[in-house]
Copies of this chain bind each other. A is one copy, B any other.
Amino acid sequence: KKLKIASIPGDGIGKEVVPAAIDVLHTVAELHGGLTFEFTDFPYSCEYYLEHGVMMPEDGMKRLSDFDSIFLGAVGDANLVPDHISLWGLLIKIRREFEQTINVRPAKQLPGIQSPLVNPNDFDIMVVRENSEGEYSSVGGRIYRGEDEIAIQNNVFSRKATERAMRFAFDLASKRKGRVTSATKSNGIVYSMPFWDEVFKDVAESYPNVKTDQQHIDALAAFFVTNPSRFDVVVASNLFGDILSDIGAGIMGSIGVAPAGNINVNGKYPSMFEPVHGSAPDIIGKGIANPVGQIWTAKMLLDHHGEEEMGQVLLDVIEETTKNRIITSDLGGSHSTQDVTNEIINRLKAK
């Protein structure tokens, strides 16, 4: 089995952690025996923009569409290119045009890592985020200038996309602890959120074995801090999922460990795997970027391609590594990107 992967290191530390995670994936393939990876590098990034005036060439999407998956580092460096250009020209463009309508983000306590919470209680949450519409719709505009100016932003929620995200969440919960929490705000946001609740109720009916509850986003965000271990799968709109998954990364101890997958569920286009962290311009070139987020993201890529067994081995090895405190400075350690990567590779080889 050969997996053809488009790798886009992107900006900043993306260029440091993507090669590290690729080394890890090659090691996984050796361990597996029957699996090989073929990576093709694409230089799309802010630097590419400075040179070419675009984040990717005209046929960029077409070229990426030939791959089994995309493995992305980080996009954006506001010192070089304004965010709305870099993000909408690359990251969000790929999410939208490749119909990656679901964003899955685990938030799980890793052994040996100090959570900012006194009682993290081994939380293990999967945030399933609707990734294509909702609050991020590009529908809106302005009227008047000056003191009467008004900006209007439309939040667009379709039954199709809402239901798709929810079914994904229920399917996932069925393989986990069997519990789905819906993030809502129907007490304050009176058109989109009551609709969201209705769809949730409908979808829940076809999963009688999954327990459900719903929480308003304000309370839910607070619960992620006061009692995260009560959650299993949380399904959320584009914006709510964005917020919850960052809090999830926060309680994990560092955004540097948080992984994510942008999933194309209809199989028409490649899915894209990218860690939650950004390009971290402040630590570029120091060799201290945390590779765990990118490597855990590689585990999600393995799972996505049916290699759950190898995915589990990789997560075990990540956990052994953090447990032994082979960790970077964002987690209170003093190890380099390379140290952590080598440790993970050596532990894989010893399996």
Contact = CB atoms under 8 A, between A and B. Distances in A.
Interface of A: 76, 83-84, 87-88, 92, 114-119, 135-136, 138-142, 146-160, 185-196, 217-219, 221-223, 225-226, 238-239, 242-243, 245-247, 249-251, 255
26 contacts: A83-B187, A84-B186, A84-B190, A87-B187, A88-B190, A116-B118, A118-B118, A138-B190, A140-B190, A140-B192, A147-B159, A149-B159, A149-B195, A150-B156, A153-B154, A153-B157, A154-B154, A185-B242, A188-B242, A217-B242, A218-B246, A219-B246, A221-B247, A221-B250, A225-B251, A226-B250
Contact of A135 (B114, B118, B189, B221): B189
Nearest to A92: B188
Contacts of A226: 116, 250
Nearest to A83: B187
Given A142-B195, A153-B191, 4 more contacts: A76-B187, A139-B191, A221-B221, A221-B243
Given A154-B154, A243-B218, A141 B194 contact: no
A278 B245 CA distance: 26
Contacts of A222: 246-247, 249-250, 255
Contacts of A119: 116
Contacts of A135: 135, 155, 188-189
A186 B147 CA distance: 21
A242 B194 CA distance: 18
Contacts of A153: 154-155, 157, 189-193
Contact of A225 (B136, B141, B158, B250): B250
B156 A152 contact: yes
A240 to B, nearest CB: 9
A152 B150 contact: no
Contacts of A217: 239, 242-243
Contacts of A87: 187-188
Contacts of A195: 142, 149, 151
Contacts of A148: 158-160
A212 to B, nearest CB: 16
